[in-house]
Amino acid sequence: MGRTLTFKIFRYNPNKDNDSPQVESYQMEETQRLNVFTALNTLRETQASDLMFDFVCRAGICGSCGMMINGRPTLACRTLTSDLPETIELYPLPFFKLLGDLSVDTGIWFREMAEKVESWIHTQEEFDPQATEERMDNDIANKIYEAERCIECGCCLAGCATVQVYPDFLGAAGLNRIGRLMNDPRDQRGDQEWFELVSTESGVFGCIGMMACDDVCPKDLPLLEVFSYIRRKLSKIELSK
């Protein structure tokens, strides 16, 4: 207790004429179990009324509050200041469209991704609201559940060096989504369709295995396991043709 924290925060509003990126310092007293999200709110109430940043759930569920905290992408609401030294440097996530200060628009990217991978169950079957739900193998259900835990925070993309350089690359969140649908027996897309979608340089072979996504994902998704599953599956598809 009793520490005085110094926040060095990236400030820039791209919509304001003649604004240029700079870092501003703010100081505040640390309180018990203070997290970065609460600290930012206090700063906005007391010192920087125009500070822009995002949050909704403050519980690591909505994925809005991703930012670079002392050099790595993670969720502000899940970061206790007691895990950090007295100086805390905050930058917006790279790669995404900057809305201002610490706020980025991850939605644009995730929407485009969802359209590219046609992120819905492709089926011709008529939906019958009266029917009992179809049974699913437990292993598959678990795999799908694991993938569904993604909160679209964008940390895996902000941490991936490849996606910074090849913006078409679907990144960890995109490949995870594909893996989720490939695993789903209700999705009727055939081998050929999957092959054309993922066996590409913007699909799984765009990944050069830097493993940052796996290390920074705040929800600890087994991302690398999804990639290796996709790789082996594509290999099998190709060999069986």
The partner in contact with residue 205, picked from ligand FES, other proteins, ligand SF4, none with C-beta cut-offs of 5 to 8 angstroms by kind, is other proteins
Q: Residue 119 Cβ, how far from ligand FES at the closest point, in Å?
A: 21
Q: How far apart are CA 118 and CA 100, in angstroms?
A: 30
Pick out residues in 206-225 that bind ligand HEM (CB under 6 A). Answer: 208-209
Q: Residue 21 Cβ, how far from other proteins at the closest point, in Å?
A: 15
Pick out residues in 70-99 that bind other proteins (CB under 8 A). Answer: 70-74, 78-80, 83-85, 89, 94
Name the residue nearer to ligand HEM (CB basis): 40 or 163: 163
Q: How far apart are CA 84 and CA 75, in angstroms?
A: 14
Residues ≥6 apart with Cβ < 8 Å to 218: 60, 66, 74, 75, 78, 151, 153, 155
x-or-dash string of contact with ligand FES, 14-53, rule CB under 6 A: ----------------------------------------
The distance of Cα 123 from the centroid of its chain, to the nearest Å, equals: 28
Q: Give residue 82's identity as a one-letter amino acid code.
A: S
x-or-dash string of contact with ligand SF4, 170-209, rule CB under 6 A: -xxx--x------------------------------xxx
Structure-block tokens of residue 170: 């679907």
Q: Which residue has the tokens 């009727």?
A: 188
Structure-block tokens of residue 229: 């599953």
Name the residue nearer to ligand HEM (CB basis): 2 or 209: 209
For residue 79, report the phi and psi dihedrals to the nearest 5 degrees.
Answer: -105, 115
Residues ≥6 apart with Cβ < 8 Å to 54: 64, 65, 102, 103, 104
Residues binding ligand FES (CB under 6 A):
55-58, 60-65, 75, 77
